[in-house]
Amino acid sequence: MLLDETTLLAMRWDEDGLLPAIAQDANTGKVLMLAYMNAQSLRRTLETGQAVFWSRSRQTLWRKGATSGHTQRVIDIRIDCDADTLLLLVDPAGPACHTNAETCFFRSLDDFSAAPERL
AA letter at 2? L
Rounded to a whole number of angstroms, the CA Rg of the chain reads: 15
Eight-class DSSP state of 50: B
112 lies in the binding site for a second copy (CB under 8 A):
yes
Among 40, 49, 76, 91, which residue interacts with a second copy (rule: CB under 8 A)? 76
29 lies in the binding site for a second copy (CB under 8 A):
yes
User: What are the residues whose beta carbons fall under 8 Å from the beta carbon of 28, sequence distance 6 or more?
Assistant: none
Measured from the CB atom, the residue of 61 and 79 that comes closer to a second copy is 79
Q: Give backbone dihedrals phi and psi of 106, rounded to 5 degrees, phi first.
A: -90, -10
95 lies in the binding site for a second copy (CB under 8 A):
no
Distance from C-alpha of 37 to C-alpha of 39, rounded to nearest angstrom:
7
Tell me the closest approach of the beta carbon of residue 61 to a second copy, in angstroms. Answer: 19
Tell me the closest approach of the beta carbon of residue 79 to a second copy, in angstroms. Answer: 5
Query: How many residues sit close enough to a second copy to count as binding (CB under 8 A)?
Result: 46
Measured from the CB atom, the residue of 60 and 76 that comes closer to a second copy is 76
User: What are the residues whose beta carbons fall under 8 Å from the beta carbon of 52, sequence distance 6 or more?
Assistant: 37, 41, 42, 44, 45, 61, 62, 63, 64
Q: Could you list the residues that contact a second copy (CB under 8 A)?
A: 1-4, 6-7, 9-12, 20, 22, 24, 29-31, 33-34, 76-83, 85-87, 97-99, 101, 104-110, 112-113, 116-119
